[in-house]
Amino acid sequence: MIPTITAFERSPDRGKGLARDMRVRWTLEELGQAYEVRQLSFSDMKQPEHLALHPFGQIPTYEEGDLALFESGAIVLHLAERHSGLLPTDANARMRAIAWMFAALNTVEPPIVERSMAWILEREETWYVQRLTMLDERVRRRLGELSRRLGDADWLDGAFSAGDLLMATVLLRLQSSGIVDEFPNLAAFVARATARPAYQRAFEAQLAVFLQAQSAEVSSPAP
Ligand code: GTB
């Protein structure tokens, strides 16, 4: 059965692939699994039909037969558990890769999201520059720790895993800040991850959605 995921009909990132459907698309591409996408507007996400799938009215969701999931990390874990390729078979190595999935979402992503949210909600405030300096330092500290652990390895723990995939999507959110480039091994890690054909296919798929929405706007301009 082909699963269906949900994604933004018009991503606010304008096709940069930074929304969280991207990590699910990338996972599906890595695993060679076909999928369908139901595109939602912000208003669609808050309708009862979607809220039944996602208690917080967000994307992405995942439906396959009688299984419905929300939370991108849970979806990636489900897929990586069901299909081979993104988690090692050795039990200890598998758990370490899962620990990296949690580290990406619970330890590295939060300060990065806080930084993004400050720009969205607080950039007009008089104290924004001061706050940004503090948030940047927090992100730098976390990235410094991650960089030390990665060292000169290609991936976080052995072969490329769902942990690397999630970590790369988290670091990509810092793209416009230049902070990742302060850590050459992390910049190389992101470059290696995004050079993977599966990432490229996922990126093109989400970009196509944005370009389609944009061309629909151009061909039917507002009255
Ligand atoms: N913890 C959840 C998960 O991992 O699945 C978080 C899901 C989430 O935040 N979804 C966002 C959403 O649906 C989209 S990805 N927001 C609508 C709402 O809450 O009403 C977050 C996101 C949005 C935009 C950008 N961007 O423009 O760069 C990046 C990331």
Res. 218: pLDDT tops 80: no
pTM of the model: 0.96
Is residue 13 lining ligand 1, measured as CB closer than 6 Å? Answer: yes
Q: Give the pLDDT confidence score for residue 159 in this predicted structure.
A: 98
Res. 13: pLDDT tops 90: yes
Rounded mean pLDDT, 181-189: 98
Is residue 54 lining ligand 1, measured as CB closer than 6 Å? Answer: no
Testing ligand 1's pocket by substitution, the residue of 13, 20, 22, 165 carrying the most ligand atoms inside 8 A of its CB is 20
Q: Give the pLDDT confidence score for residue 37 in this predicted structure.
A: 98
The predicted-structure confidence for 32-70, as pLDDT tens digits, reads as follows 999 999 999 999 999 999 999 999 999 999 999 999 999
Domains observed in the chain: 4-85+198-219 (3.40.30.10), 91-196 (1.20.1050.10)
Rounded mean pLDDT, 128-139: 97
Is residue 44 lining ligand 1, measured as CB closer than 6 Å? Answer: no
Q: Which helix (H) or strand (E) holds 6?
A: strand 4-8
Q: Do the bridges between strand 61-64 and strand 36-40 make them parallel or antiparallel, or are there none, so unpaired?
A: unpaired
**Do residues 3 and 24 touch, judged by C-beta distance below 8 A?**
no
Q: Which residue has the higher pLDDT, 111 or 219?
A: 111
The predicted-structure confidence for 98-122, as pLDDT tens digits, reads as follows 999 999 999 999 999 999 999 999 9
Average pLDDT, the chain: 96
Residue nearest atom 2 of ligand 1, based on CA coordinates: 71
